[in-house]
Structure 1
Amino acid sequence: MLRALALGVLALVLVSGGMFAFISPPRLLSHYDRLAGGRAGSYPVATGVPFGSHGQRLDIWAPNDQTKAPLPVVIFWYGGGWAKGDRGSYAFAGRALAREGFIVVIPDYRKVPKVLFPAFLDDGAEAVAWVQANIAQHGGDPERVAVMGHSAGAYQAVMLALDAKRLAAVGVAPDFIKAGVGLSGPYDFHPFTSDRAIAAFSEWPNPAETQPITYARIDAPPLLLVTSDGDETVRPKNANNLGARLTALGATAQVTNYGPLDHEEIVMALSAPFREKGPVLADAAAFLNTHLGD
């Protein structure tokens, strides 16, 4: 993840005598984002909040200016191939979206190999249920909730936006999610070819049930599907195919391609130090504001 930070990691290791040697690239990016001014305009409302039935926890970020509260809500899931990642490493995403005027919830979820599909999605559904029941206490508007994620996190977000039965199982109405943004997500990737996908999904008896494109429906919430020609990890066909299927059904779907950016650069562009890579944050915020309203 975030291979483009490798030289920065090396420089920090050399300067610091190794104190950053074992920090994950996303966590290092969050540290770099904070030093580069990324923390201005937002703050952590709460960290390590318990939710769900398996010891999951979540963090909440908010803008400094809450004069228009209650504010629209974005639930953001991080990537990591369903096998790694943690909410604290993606503080840069929480800060960025909060500065745009959203209450941001970043939940953890269980990982492969301890669990397989659909356990991590069940964790995501429990996060949505927690938001429905509790976000008003933290300045969020439960009537204006969107989902968002990168890579495996985009899979989480889009699957939960499309598969109404999974939300219904935790007491959430099918129309609770009002919009979604998927950054570099896999939505149409069977037959499984990557080691990560094989590990997470191959034991499920009906592969079609693992694919977001299977759940495309006319009444799906509006979705912004971000991809890039430079992404060699999750190919653009995933966003293209799902976008085309939703559009053919009459749903609202927008596919945005950021050309040469690679898989990691798409999410890096949310951070203050790398925002010039592309208008990912601005475009996502504009889409969400359009569909969440005031």
Structure 2
Amino acid sequence: MRIALGLTVALLLAGGALALAIRMNGAAVLDGIDRLTGGTRGVSLVSETRYGSHASQKLRIYAAAKATQQLPVLLFVHGGSWSWGDPDDYAFIARAFAPEGFIVALAGYRLGEDGRYPAMLEDTAAAFAETARLAPQFGGDPTRIVLAGHSAGAYNVVQIALDRKWLTAAGGAPRGVIGLAGPYDFYPFDKESSRDAFGSVGAGPDSQPVNHARSDAPSMLLIHGERDTLVKPRNSRALAKALEDVGAPVELRIYDEFDHNAPLISLASPWRGSRDIDEVAIDFARRVTEVSVSVQAEIP
């Protein structure tokens, strides 16, 4: 069966059908291919809940079968131009990180008219708070949360991490942030998606992550493709420079051959492991959530 599935995937790749399918419903296709070619990796859905009354305010929590107490937590927020997307299509993110020693939470947020600025940020902050509250039930450490997101989701997580007002009520802060192909410097709004989500409600420069760089910001890993024409790589370059200028910890990785979706695709099987995105992201998440163990002095 596995061989037949592998041949099917190979044929899709050769014929270009996979590329078309990813453009039409990328995350769902990636999730299916990841599950078929990589299996479950011992990862299971341990909580299927909501953090609000809206249908899009979903929170899904995954853990490896042998999860132990006090694991770091990775909270991932999907993209979709703030108008579409569903965390239920992103279980491949959990299968990428949970076997490496993380509890993984996938969060949705209000979209379209309901999710116009600042609703998407209110929701992401609420999802962070709910993840911290629930994490101990599944072996997660609520004080060691890493935020991650792709595209519009990267904007959400970076903005709430930099602009203090969003997580004040949550009473906590992430240890680090991973942004994949995110928009961080796009004012004035010149695309339909940004005009709908931001311009239609009169958002201004304060809505831009690049304008909230601060020296005590959580560590950030910004990943972008040089061939990304949907969200130009200058967004990650501009944010990295703004953070560097104030002495904040930031790592910028630009991949010459990557387009907008390549960083996300790199976290799914069979691409996972053949590129270094998963290795880089996992290493970063481990470093920023590392627990310092004090060594008691020997008594003579």
Separation (CA, whole Å) in 2 of partners of 1:205 and 1:126: 23
Separation (CA, whole Å) in 1 of partners of 2:126 and 2:248: 26
Shift of 1:291: 0.8
Q: Report the TM-score when normalising by structure 2.
A: 0.86
The number of residues matched between the two structures is 278
- Structure 2 alignment gaps of length 5 or more: 1-8, 292-300
Tell me if 1:99 matches 2:99: yes
Separation (CA, whole Å) in 1 of partners of 2:16 and 2:275: 25
Shift of 1:164: 1.3
Cα 1:11–1:89 shift into 2, 3 Å = farther
2:12 to 1, 8, 13: 8
Shift of 1:203: 2.5
**Secondary structure, counterpart of 1:145 in structure 2:** strand
Cα 1:227–1:277 shift into 2, 3 Å = farther
Task: Note if contact 2:73-2:104 (Cα within 8 Å) is conserved in structure 1.
Answer: yes
Separation (CA, whole Å) in 2 of partners of 1:262 and 1:164: 31
**Secondary structure, counterpart of 1:122 in structure 2:** helix
Name 2:202's counterpart in structure 1.
Answer: 205
Separation (CA, whole Å) in 2 of partners of 1:280 and 1:27: 20
The CA deviation string for residues 79-107 of structure 1, in whole angstroms up to 9 with x for no partner, is: 10000000111111121111221111101
Tell me if 1:50 matches 2:54: no
The CA deviation string for residues 157-178 of structure 1, in whole angstroms up to 9 with x for no partner, is: 111111111111xx223x5211
**Secondary structure, counterpart of 1:270 in structure 2:** coil
Name 2:79's counterpart in structure 1.
Answer: 79
Q: Report the TM-score when normalising by structure 1.
A: 0.88
Task: Note if contact 2:226-2:257 (Cα within 8 Å) is conserved in structure 1.
Answer: yes
Separation (CA, whole Å) in 2 of partners of 1:192 and 1:167: 25
Cα 1:12–1:52 shift into 2, 3 Å = same
Shift of 1:206: 4.3
Name 2:215's counterpart in structure 1.
Answer: 218
Shift of 1:272: 1.1
Task: Note if contact 2:126-2:170 (Cα within 8 Å) is conserved in structure 1.
Answer: no
**Secondary structure, counterpart of 1:73 in structure 2:** strand
1:228 to 225, 228, 253: 225
Shift of 1:10: 11
Residue correspondence of structure 1 range 103-252 to structure 2 within 5 A: 103-168=103-168, 171-173=169-171, 176-252=173-249
The two structures, once aligned, show a CA RMSD in angstroms of 2.3
Shift of 1:143: 1.2
Shift of 1:192: 1.5
Aligned residue type for 1:60: I
Tell me if 1:282 matches 2:279: yes
Residue identity over aligned pairs, in percent, reads 37
Separation (CA, whole Å) in 2 of partners of 1:38 and 1:213: 39
Separation (CA, whole Å) in 1 of partners of 2:268 and 2:198: 31
Tell me if 1:88 matches 2:92: no
Cα 1:193–1:10 shift into 2, 3 Å = farther
Task: Note if contact 2:213-2:242 (Cα within 8 Å) is conserved in structure 1.
Answer: yes
**Secondary structure, counterpart of 2:251 in structure 1:** strand
Aligned residue type for 1:144: R
- Structure 1 alignment gaps of length 5 or more: 14-19
Q: Larger radius of gyration, structure 1 or 2? A: 2
Question: After alignment, is 258-267 or 78-87 more displaced?
Answer: 258-267
Separation (CA, whole Å) in 2 of partners of 1:268 and 1:120: 24
Separation (CA, whole Å) in 1 of partners of 2:138 and 2:163: 27
